[in-house]
Structure formats: structure tokens, C-alpha cells
Structure 1
Amino acid sequence: MSESVIPDSEASLRDFRSEVRAFVAQALPHGVREKVRLGLEVSKDEMIDWQRRLAERGWLAPHWPRDWQGQGWSAERRAAFQEELVLAHAPETGGISIEMIGPILIRYGTPAQQQYFLPRILNLEHWWCQGYSEPNAGSDLASLKTRAVRKTRPDGTEVYVVNGSKIWTSYAQYADWIFCLVRTDTGARAQQGISFLLVDMRSPGIGVRPLVGIHGWHLFNQVFFDDVEVPVENRVGDENAGWAIAKSLLEHERLNLARVAENRRRLAKVRAIAAELEESGQPLLLRPWFARRYRELEVRLEALAATVLRFRQRARAGARLGPETGMLKLLGSRLIQDIENLAVDALGPGTLAYDRAAHFEPATPQPGQSAYAAAASARRFVTRGYTIAGGSSEIQHELLAKQVLGL
């Protein structure tokens, strides 16, 4: 699946960034931009509408191969594209469908799976969710218990019968399909008895229970499987070989887990908050406690961005990225939490009131308050999960100690 990529000079990247900014300024609805800027919730319809606009421009899945509407961009151009979208307050572009299951099917799927699923992802007919974590298998994913037993139907069709549950499943309430890790061999070593299945969310026996967090938002769900039958042809890769596929997906995510662009946007938000508020008769930007914390976050962000750049340069030179990239997730997730903590501290008591309706539509703030206040606490609570999801910080520290430092 290797393809030649378009080389980029600094000048061409600057021109490309200008092109992306101009497109977003014209194509992104103002109301959606404001919701993202203020940290409010964006509906599924609004996300789909934005993705359709990107698809019309040919930018929905630019990192996919050209045979599947990809653009053949360099890693630097892809990073610049994502950064410009984030800084322009655009909603999430690809998520699980474009960034996760699409590349997996391109790399590991059968021709029949590719021909069926990839066009439906690109035309936004299918919305996907990810079934990895379980109530007792999160960071220790290899201990998963959801069971898939192979059987033959009376008509001769081969199926897996799936029983168990997945948890922290983002946006499962919207999903048409879920890709799951399931245990197909209980006698093998933990990682060697796992298979990768594609499951229709309309299948009999699937149940979805919402998990509403302290932030008040319905992001997560628990998905239950009660004798759910899945055709064997919906398995990706060989039976009991799902762990390797799952690991390749994590490798695909590594450089994005630093959240550099998202950290830049959120830090700019904090600066905007401080520019509009005063404390003790002074602009908040000039208050020593705020300035000290803000400058520290700036330094940490630039150090993180430089580290990501070094890894990207290594990858471009053909070097294989190892477990040391786990530091990016550690640094990026903690940074985004500290930025949101500063936002709440800057806004003050106005963030404490909870109004569910205010999380969906921008409202005129009360005198002396900021429009950012309505969702600030919710945003802070959402980011608490960033040091848990994708492998907790404790697990990341342990992997770095063992696999990088040899401790």
C-alpha cells in the first residue's frame, strides 16, 4: 500500500495552509464554528454536514490511498491540514470511521470488505464505533473476556456467536457498525487468542446503555452482546490474529496522541479569556499568577511540538517508531488537562453553574462573565479521561520504564 507522496517545501506548505484557511472560512458554518470555539457540544448532524463539505473538496480522507479518494500528501502536509482545521475551530473531521477502521480495512481487509465498507465510510452512510475496552480490561486490553464461539447455522453459514460487553464506547448511540476485539481461543496466551470482528449494530442481541459522565455529556456507552451472530466473513485478518491488527492501529495513532494542534487552540482560548477579563483592576493577562502559569504552558507546548517534529522526521527517513513515542501521549494529555484547569481558574465562579441547555447553543453571557464559562467545567472534566483512554498514564510510564529505559 506504499505510494509516492508529494514533496513539500516550506513555501508550498505556507501556500497550502492559506488554501485550507480560505476554504474553512468559506465552508464552515458560523454557528458550528462558534460552538467549537466555546467548547459546546456539536450534534451528529452538524459533524456529518461538515464532513460532507470536506468530502466535496476531496479532503475527507486525504491520508487514504489515491484509489480510495486519498490525496498522496506528505506527513507534513497532513499535519498542517489537521492543525489548520483545529485552529479554525472546525469539528472533528474523521474520528473512528476515517482515522481508525478505514486504514485498518485498507491494510488488512479482504477485497470484498474493502469494496463494501470503504465507499460507505466515504459517503458517510456508515458511522463506526470502537469496541476495545471492557469493564475489567482497559489498559490491560489483552485480558478481555468478550467471547466469540464459531458455529454453523442450519443453512450451512459460518458465524461467530458473541457474548460479553464493551465499555467507554464513544458515540455508540449513533453508530451503524462497531469493530471489536473478541476472544476466540481461551486456551492460547492472552494476546494470541483474540480476533478482530466487524459487527452490525442492528444485529439482534446488541444493547447500548448510555454512560453520562460528571461533565453531563453523553459521550460514552456500554455495549452488550447477548448471543449476537456475526458472519465469519466479517472477521478482519486470520482467526486469533486480531492483536497484531489492534497494535497496528495504536501505532497509527501514536503521533496524534500528543494533541499539539488541539493544545494550541485551547491555549489560545485561555489567552482570549484572559484578554477579556480583569482582576483587581488589572487585565488578567498581567496578573502574576496567571502570567506565570500561562508562560509555563507555552514552554511545555513548544517543547512537545519540537519533540513531535523530531519523531515525524525520523518516520519520514524510514525509521520505525518504537515505544518511546508513548511519551507524546503522556505529555500531550497532561498538558491539555492543565490548560483546561487554567481556563476554569481564570473564569472563576461563573463556571460552577450547570445548565445543560447552555452546552448546545451559544448564549449571551451575564454582565461580567465570559461566553466561555458555560462549558468550561464540562470541558475540564472531559479532559480527565485523556490520561486514561488510549492506555492510562500509569501503564505508559511502566512501558517506557521497561521497553525504553530497560528498568
Structure 2
Amino acid sequence: MTDSITTDDDASLQDFRREVREFVARSLPHAVREKVRLGLELSKPELVDWQRRLAERGWLAPHWPAEWQGCNWSAERRAAFQEELVLAHAPESGGITFEMIGPILIRYGTPAQQQYFLPRILNQEHWWCQGYSEPNSGSDLASLKTRAVRKTRPDGTEVYVVSGSKIWTSYAQYADWVFCLVRTDTEARAQRGISFLLIDMRSPGVSVRPLVGIHGWHLFNQVFFDEVEVPVQNLVGEENAGWTIAKSLLEHERLNLARVAENRRRLAKVRAIGNELEEGGQPLSQRPWFARRMRALEVRLEALAATVLRFRKRARAGETLGPETGMLKLLGSRLIQDIENLAVDALGPDTLAYDRAAHFEPAVPQAGQSAYAAAASARRFVTRGYSIAGGSSEIQHELLAKQVLGL
């Protein structure tokens, strides 16, 4: 069955934006809004509470099909929804769970997998993390070494026995499940010996080690698999055909890695900093060096937003997105880094002090200081990883040169 897709004229889109703004104003707790506005860390309970409110409104997974509580929105409406949430300082909602594994199960999962996992995702019983990168297999993902060997238990049930580790696993400390790329054929060509497995994080043999970066935040982890038994029913797609699934996920993931809505929020933050601070007796926003950099960032963001929207329309029309989506990730990660660099430059030495507690609760700024200063350096350091995560910029340039430009 083909679901009808909402179409929008300018008036209906503006009405929808107003509806989203009113919903956020009513539903988002003030304390959470302030933490997001200032760039502070949110707890899992705060995220769960916000996603519950979205679910009650029917907006938790609007890009999913209607049979799975989706909304069948147009690309324009979906972009407007994300923008309004972000500009109202609402938290980002479960990108890995709702943007990655959900669509993969909808497209590639068996009916049994869909019936088991998708309702548990929607009611937030299951939070997911992504097991792709390994200590020696990051951007060269096809070189991964984590093994999955098929065996039969004494009771006759078949399982995969998984051994190895994954690294830079975002929010694995919160996750109930992980979707993993594992090697199931060591003799085949690298890409042809990989399978896509779903692994319960509570399984015996799974352990998580936190990786706390220079920014002081616990975003990443290393996950270890010590002969973890996984039911063969948790294989998505065909054995040794996981690379096809991984590629389709990465192509769509890079639409999100352009981070258009998040770039809008961060640029609004820098604009607010420019309006509240002074330099040389005039508002910082009027200083030539600041105004020039702001204008350049605004132009880059609008160009990126228009390009992402074109790709979303193509995807919704059923077109297969190719390696050209890598440019979106390149542009988005550079842009967010430059925005955070401008924030730190504008705030100056006030960003140098480090207070771990200030990452979780708004600090009371001293006279002449900005409330944005407490987390500014940490936010900048976090974004340094954006040109590595999801495929390093060097690898993206090489792929674009070879596969798009034919060089």
C-alpha cells in the first residue's frame, strides 16, 4: 500500500509552523528549554519525558509510514517541523533510534522483527546505539574485524557467537539494543562478508567502557563482545549482505549529518551573544569582524538547507541516494564547527574556565559574563569530532572524487 503524502502551499506550511510553535510553548518544560538554549547536557529522563510528549501528540516518528504511527509529511513539512522544534530549544529526539534503526527495520526487517521491535521503539522501551566503527576500522568500515560465527546449541537452536569490539558508540551507556555490522565470512571480499545483527545490550558477554573526551562529556563508549550469543532471528536481511543495508543507512544518515536544524539553533545562539555583548562601546553584532563572519555563516547555512531539501524530495519520490550525499555531511560538519568557533571568539576568555557541574545545570554568570560561556569551549571541542564521525572528511573527499566526479 502506498501512503498519500501531505502536500503544502505556503499558507498551510505557515499554519503548521504556528501549530508546532504553540505545541512546544505548551509542552516543553522551561528547565529543559533553558538547558538546550545554553548548550548544556540533558539526562536520559529529560529526553524520555520530551519524547513521551511528542508521542502523545503523534509526532514522535513523523517520517515513518502511517501504519507505524508516521505522518506522511512532505519534505517541506518535515524540514519545517525540525526547524520549529530546534528554534524553540526543544531537545533532539532519538536520532539513532528513530532516524536509523527504525527506517532500516521498516525497509529490511522481517514481519516478526517489525512486530517485535517497532512498537517497543515507539513506546521508548528500547533505546538503540550503532555498532559500526572499530578501533582499526573507522572510515574504512569494510575492514571491520568483529566476528559472528554461526553455531547450533545442544538444544538445537541456532545462534551467532559474536566476538570483537565497537568504538565511538554514541550513548551506549543508555542503550538497550545495538545494531551491529559483523563479519560472517572471512574468505569473501571485504564488503561481501558482512552481516547486520541486532544485539541485546543485556546479553552475557556485552560490556561498555566510557570514553570521556577533552570536552568532559560522556558521549562515546567502547563496547566489547565476548562470545555473545545472538539468535539467528536477529539477522536483518540476508547473511553476508549487510553492506547493502549499511550503505542505504549511511546515505540517509548523511542527510541528518548535515545538521541543518541544529546549525540554525547554534547560529541563533551566536546571534544572541552578538546582541548581548559589547566591544569598543558598541554591540558586538555591529563590529565588522563579527558581522562579516555571521553573514558568511548565514549564507552557507541557507545554501546547505536548500540542498538537503532537494535530496529529501528525491528520497521521498523513491530515488536511491548515492555517494553524493557525502557532501552534505562535509558541509554541515564544517559549518557547525565554524559557528562554535565564532561563539568562543565572541565570548573570549570567559570560556576558558571549566566547571563540570555547569554542563548539567545553568550557572549564575558573574557580572559582565554571558550565560553561554560555561559550556562554550566544551561545545566547540565536541564539534571537532563531527568531521571524523560518520566518515572522516578525508574519506568523504576521496569518495566524492572517485564515485561522483570520476577522478
> What TM-score comes out, normalization by structure 2 length?
0.98
What secondary structure is seen at the aligned counterpart in 1 of 2:209?
A: strand
Q: Residues 390 and 371 from structure 1, CA distance in 2 versus in 1: closer, same or farther, beyond 3 angstroms? A: same
Deviation (angstroms), 1:317: 5.5
What's the counterpart of residue 223 of structure 1?
223
Report the equivalent of 1:291: 291
Distance 1:296 1:256 in 2: 22
Quickly say closer, same or farther: Cα 1:21–1:322, change in 2 above 3 A.
same
Alignment of 1:150-165 (within 5 A): 150-165=150-165
Which amino acid in structure 2 is aligned with residue 278 of structure 1? E
Residue matched to 2:364 = 364
d(CA) in 1 for partners of 2:176, 2:318: 37
Q: Tell me the SS of whatever aligns to 1:163.
A: strand
Alignment of 1:292-307 (within 5 A): 292-307=292-307
Give 1:20-169 correspondences, 5 Å limit. Answer: 20-169=20-169
Are the counterparts in 1 of residues 76 and 309 from structure 2 also a CA contact under 8 Å? no
**DSSP 3-state at the match of 1:154:** coil
Please list the CA deviations of residues 141-164 of structure 1 after superposition, one character each: whole Å capped at 9, or x if unmatched. Answer: 000000000111000010011000
| Partner amino acid, structure 2, of 1:282 | Q
Count residues in correspondence.
Answer: 407
What's the offset of the Cα at 1:338?
0.3
CA distance in 2, matches of 1:123, 1:351: 39
Name the SS for the 1:62 alignment partner. Answer: coil
Structure 1 CA distance, aligned partners of 2:405 and 2:346? 39
C-alpha contact (below 8 Å) 1:24/1:85 kept by paired residues: yes
CA RMSD of aligned residues (A): 1.2
**Counterpart amino acid of 1:227?**
E
1:247 is the counterpart of 2:247:
yes
Q: Any unmatched runs of 5+ in structure 2? A: none
Matches of 2:211 and 2:268 in 1, distance apart?
31
Q: Which residue number in structure 1 is paired with residue 190 of structure 2?
A: 190
Name the SS of the counterpart of 1:15 in structure 2.
helix
Alignment correspondent of 2:328: 328
1:61 touches 1:94 (CA, 8 Å); kept in 2? no
Change beyond 3 A, Cα 1:319–1:208: closer
Structure 1 residue 251: deviation in Å? 2.1
Q: Is the partner of 1:367 in helix, strand or coil?
A: coil
Letter in 2 for 1:6: T
Task: Find the aligned partners of 1:48 and 1:326 in 2 and give their Cα distance.
Answer: 31
**Stretch moving more, 253-262 or 346-355:** 253-262
Q: Secondary structure at the match of 2:353?
A: coil
- Structure 1 unaligned segments of length 5 or more: list them: none
Percent of pairs with identical residues: 87
Alignment correspondent of 2:277 = 277
SS at match of 1:39: coil
The answer to whether the 8 Å contact 1:255/1:308 transfers is: yes
- Does structure 1 retain, via aligned residues, the 8 Å contact 2:251–2:325? no
Shift of 1:388: 0.6
When normalised by structure 1's length, the TM-score is 0.98
Contact 2:166/2:224 (8 A) holds in 1: yes
